[in-house]
């Protein structure tokens, strides 16, 4: 995946904040601003894709970690960090308001994504994920964490899977919060290995038709294929403009 594709997606998802960022916005360094100042020999990039969701109550550690902050680590990423504000009433470009939180993180879909497991907020806040690649620090746009006011809905009944040999079509409806601007779709095998990962504006995706795909995070040649009479899993996340996941639909399916 090219840097241009990442940049395009960042602007599409976060057009409301696509204005010139001040890397270190004030002279009194703290939080993320202090971290950037301590690493001022590094270049900066805002091409980091991240979002957050309420964890499903079926997760074994839901009571300990009710929130998951997902991010896409590009090749060579290291030193994953998570920063968070104390409340919602901040300028999200004032990095001094984002204080690092030491949270466990783990691989998702066998490493194609990662997630921080969050447990300490008591109200809506903003979060930011960073990591380094070479001599560049990648910083995501602000993530509006709404676990208490708009908890993520998990509803597989909103998802329909139409069998078509090894080219199934997936379609879905928005849930109770109809604020999604983009949808992330993953097809994985029963061992949770990612087979395809795509973003669309439409409420459908046909495997492996990329005509309505705005970003493909598993852009390989030859393209991924499914095996007939085999079990797979489909996961869809509906994401708002401020990077909160309003809806997650997950359902297993078997190819014909």
Domain with CATH 2.60.40.10 in the chain: 153-254
Band of pLDDT at residue 15, cut at 50, 70 and 90: very low
pLDDT (0 to 100) of residue 163: 87
pLDDT (0 to 100) of residue 122: 86
Tell me the pLDDT tens digit for each residue of 142-157: 999 999 999 999 999 9
Instruction: Evaluate if residue 103 carries a pLDDT over 70.
Output: yes
pLDDT (0 to 100) of residue 9: 56
Tell me the pLDDT tens digit for each residue of 45-94: 999 999 999 999 999 999 999 999 999 999 999 999 999 999 999 999 99
Rounded distance, CA 4 to CA 156, Å?
34
| Percent of the chain surpassing pLDDT 70 | 89
Tell me the pLDDT tens digit for each residue of 105-142: 999 999 999 999 998 788 999 999 999 999 999 999 99
pLDDT (0 to 100) of residue 5: 54
pLDDT (0 to 100) of residue 28: 59
Strands 180-189 and 231-240: antiparallel
What pTM did the predictor assign?
0.90
Q: Identify the CATH number of the domain defined by range 153-254.
A: 2.60.40.10
Note the CATH architecture for domain 3-145: Sandwich (2.60)
Mean pLDDT over each residue of the chain, to the nearest integer: 91
């Amino acid at each position: 995946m090219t840097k241009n594709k990442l940049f395009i997606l960042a602007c599409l998802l976060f057009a409301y904040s696509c204005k010139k960022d001040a890397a270190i916005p004030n002279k009194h360094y703290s939080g993320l601003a202090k971290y950037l100042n301590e690493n001022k020999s590094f270049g900066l990039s805002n091409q980091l894709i991240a979002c957050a969701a309420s964890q499903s109550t079926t997760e074994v550690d839901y009571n300990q970690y009710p929130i998951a902050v997902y991010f896409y680590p590009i090749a060579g990423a290291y030193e994953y960090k998570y920063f968070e504000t104390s409340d919602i009433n901040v300028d999200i470009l004032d990095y001094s308001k984002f204080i690092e939180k030491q949270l466990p993180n783990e691989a998702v879909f066998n490493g194609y994504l990662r997630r921080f497991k969050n447990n300490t907020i008591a109200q809506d806040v903003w979060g930011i994920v960073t990591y380094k690649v070479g001599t560049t620090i990648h910083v995501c746009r602000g993530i509006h964490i709404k676990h208490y006011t708009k908890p993520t809905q998990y509803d597989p009944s909103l998802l329909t899977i139409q069998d078509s040999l090894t080219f199934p079509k997936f379609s879905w409806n928005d849930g109770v919060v109809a604020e999604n601007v983009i949808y992330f779709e993953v097809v994985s095998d029963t061992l949770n290995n990612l087979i395809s990962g795509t973003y669309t504006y439409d409420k459908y995706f046909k495997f492996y038709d990329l005509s309505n795909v705005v970003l493909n995070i598993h852009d390989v040649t030859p393209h991924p294929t499914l095996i007939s009479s085999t079990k797979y899993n489909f996961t869809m996340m509906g994401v708002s403009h401020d990077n909160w996941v309003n809806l997650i639909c997950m359902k297993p399916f078997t190819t014909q």
